[in-house]
Amino acid sequence: MSKCILGIDIGTTNVKSVLFALDGSILIQESAEYPTFFPEAGWAEQDAEQWWEATVETISRITTNLQINKYEIAAIGVSSQAPTVLPLDIKGNPLRNALIWMDRRSEKECDFLRQKIGEVKIKEITGNRIDPYFAFPKLLWFRENEPHLLNRTHKILQCNGYVNYKLTGCFSIDKAHASLSQIYDKNKNRWSQELCQQLDISPKILPKIYECTDIIGTVTKKAAAITGLSQGIPVIAGTVDGSAAAIEAGVINSGEAVEMTGTSTVLLIASDKWKNNENLIAMYQGFGNHCLIFGAMSSTGACLKWFKDQFGNTEKKVAQKLNLNIFELMDLEASKVEAGAGNLLFLPYMMGERSPIWDSHARGMFIGLTLNTSRKQMIRAILEGTSFALYHNLKEVTKLGLKVNKLKAVGGGSNSDLWLKIKASMLNMPILVPETSTGAPFGDALLAGVGVKLYNNVRDIVRKSIKIKKVIM
């Protein structure tokens, strides 16, 4: 039987599972969605059981496909949205919904960290600024507001850590996710004893840290019965979705860059070493000590979806008649508007904002509305406002001495030529769109292949796999 590798990404809106041949070609891919809950303004939660149910659904579809019976799955790699706080009891059951990366309820805890530890000290230990985006402030919120659940907590896991637990029975966290926790000591490659002691956090609830390519365990008999996988398949620790997507896009050498737009936008730039910075985020990539510097915008694609959901009834009806995707129709409308959207500005801060302004209280707004403002101008303004947010982050990158001359684009946003043209114009650089883009699952599969020694060099397989479909100037 020919060997293949399974890459799984637990994203913000869905799970995507893709089976790859060893040459990187796609054998079969499946996806399944789940909801996000917003109990209050600035809060964002997901049900971890729905992650697992969606994962089981996608894997089961793959394993029951008769076309893949001639293949043997040699390894599994799982990536996910990050960071997250998911408390589990001693039996591995979730004690509450997970607080996902989008959740910004922990501003008070951030103020506490600044007073108790200080911004400078936190940066010195973790390499990043204090912000509700990271896991540690969320954990402090959990401790202060739900102590009865903290008392029952055995481990705090990330999204992929939970799926890995369900597959293998092992509690774990990969180095990339750990570097976004804000309780990880990047200088000593371990949980920060200093932060745990000063803030009275028991290290026992923090899982063991693994390199992204380390094998943490194998598929259990129980997981095999539920998914249709073979018992004993090695599962690696995995990585953050952005890291896996960057690998898939060939962002490995210093200065190479990709923007990944879906619900949010992440601008990722490879760096051969950790770069301390004020307004961007740093994390380890999926292999060795390679790092990614990235700017994370909270709600770019989500702003378009918001417009569609709230004001898009007309577009929905017309799109159905024309047999178009509604976003294709919105693009068509916006393309009829000249640059500048009729002097209409849009601030894309519908869920506060992460980099580079780091303001949970920032809010989205249209500026310059008149009685003559049209729907298509509003759509164009959203495309331009979110593109300017990308430009804002790239300006921060140049301050670090990283030179970016071209930008790759992946994710759902790369399907819009108009959006890409606006970005290319604002950034004053070409945007390259890969011929095929599965996103994070391909990076997951490569890391898993390295973990089981099917691949020796990530760079070689990436260079052979990437083909550019179009260049937008």
Which residues face 4 on adjacent strands? 21, 73
Inside any domain, residue 457: no
Looking at the structure, tell me whether residues 237 and 259 fall in a common domain: no
Predicted pLDDT of residue 405: 92
Given 181, 213, 241, which residue is the final one in a domain?
A: 241
In CATH, what number is assigned to the domain containing residue 279? 3.30.420.40
Cα gap 8→79, rounded to integer Å = 6
Looking at the structure, tell me whether residues 337 and 363 fall in a common domain: yes
Inside any domain, residue 344: yes
Q: Classify residue 339 as exposed, middle or buried by CB count within 10 Å of its CB (0-12, 13-18, 19+).
A: exposed
Cα gap 165→155, rounded to integer Å = 11
Q: How many domains does the chain have?
A: 2
Looking at the structure, tell me whether residues 129 and 259 fall in a common domain: no
Mean pLDDT of 21-35: 92
Inside any domain, residue 443: no
Looking at the structure, tell me whether residues 354 and 420 fall in a common domain: yes
Instruction: Render pLDDT for 351-410 as a digit per residue (tens, 0 to 9).
Output: 889 899 988 889 999 999 999 999 999 999 999 999 999 999 999 998 888 889 999 998
Looking at the structure, tell me whether residues 234 and 308 fall in a common domain: no
Confidence band, pLDDT 50/70/90 cuts, at residue 93: very high
Looking at the structure, tell me whether residues 52 and 130 fall in a common domain: yes
Instruction: Render pLDDT for 429-472 as a digit per residue (tens, 0 to 9).
Output: 999 998 877 878 999 999 999 999 999 877 777 777 788 889 99
- In terms of Cα–Cα distance, which of 258, 170, 177 is closest to 219? 170
More confident residue, 299 or 324: 299
Inside any domain, residue 309: yes
Mean pLDDT of the chain: 93
Looking at the structure, tell me whether residues 214 and 260 fall in a common domain: no
3-state per-residue secondary structure call for the chain? CEEEEEEEEECCCEEEEEEEECCCCEEEEEEEECCCECCCCCCCEECHHHHHHHHHHHHHHHHCCHHHCCEEEEEEEEEECCCCEEEECCCCCECCCEECCCCCCCHHHHHHHHHHCCHHHHHHHHCCCCCCCCHHHHHHHHHHHCHHHHCCCCEEECHHHHHHHHHHCCCCEEHHHHCCCCCEECCCCEECHHHHHHCCCCHHHCCCEECCCCEEEECCHHHHHHHCCCCCCEEECCEEHHHHHHHHCCCCCCCCEEEEECCCEEEEEEECCCCCCCCCEEEECCCCCCEEEEEEECCHHHHHHHHHHHHCHHHHHHHHHHCCCHHHHHHHHHCCCCCCCCCCEEECCECEECCCCCECCCCCEEECCCCCCCHHHHHHHHHHHHHHHHHHHHHHHHCCCCCCCCEEEECHHHHCHHHHHHHHHHHCCCEEEECCCCCHHHHHHHHHHHHCCCCCCHHHHHHHHCCEEEEEC
Inside any domain, residue 42: yes
Q: Classify residue 458 as exposed, middle or buried by CB count within 10 Å of its CB (0-12, 13-18, 19+).
A: buried
pLDDT higher than 70, residue 110? yes
Inside any domain, residue 218: yes
pLDDT higher than 80, residue 67? no
Inside any domain, residue 79: yes
pLDDT higher than 70, residue 201? yes
With contact defined as beta carbons under 8 Å apart, do 207 and 88 qualify?
no
Predicted pLDDT of residue 315: 82
Cα gap 379→418, rounded to integer Å = 11
Cα gap 242→295, rounded to integer Å = 11
Mean pLDDT of 213-232: 97
Predicted pLDDT of residue 456: 84
Looking at the structure, tell me whether residues 175 and 299 fall in a common domain: no
**For the chain, what's the residue count?**
473
More confident residue, 261 or 171: 171
Inside any domain, residue 453: no
376 residue type, one letter: K
Predicted pLDDT of residue 278: 82
Predicted pLDDT of residue 1: 75
Given 241, 263, 296, which residue is the final one in a domain?
A: 241
Least confident of 29-38, 215-224, 284-293: 284-293
Confidence band, pLDDT 50/70/90 cuts, at residue 48: very high
Predicted pLDDT of residue 66: 61
Looking at the structure, tell me whether residues 381 and 429 fall in a common domain: yes
Looking at the structure, tell me whether residues 77 and 224 fall in a common domain: yes
Please give the residue range of the domain that contains residue 272.
Answer: 250-436
Percent with pLDDT over 70 in the chain: 99
Instruction: Render pLDDT for 245-288 as a digit per residue (tens, 0 to 9).
Output: 888 888 988 899 999 898 889 999 999 888 878 899 999 987 77
Looking at the structure, tell me whether residues 231 and 273 fall in a common domain: no
Looking at the structure, tell me whether residues 289 and 207 fall in a common domain: no
Instruction: Render pLDDT for 182-193 as a digit per residue (tens, 0 to 9).
Output: 999 999 999 999
Instruction: Render pLDDT for 111-166 as a digit per residue (tens, 0 to 9).
Output: 999 999 999 999 999 999 999 999 999 999 999 999 999 999 999 999 999 999 99
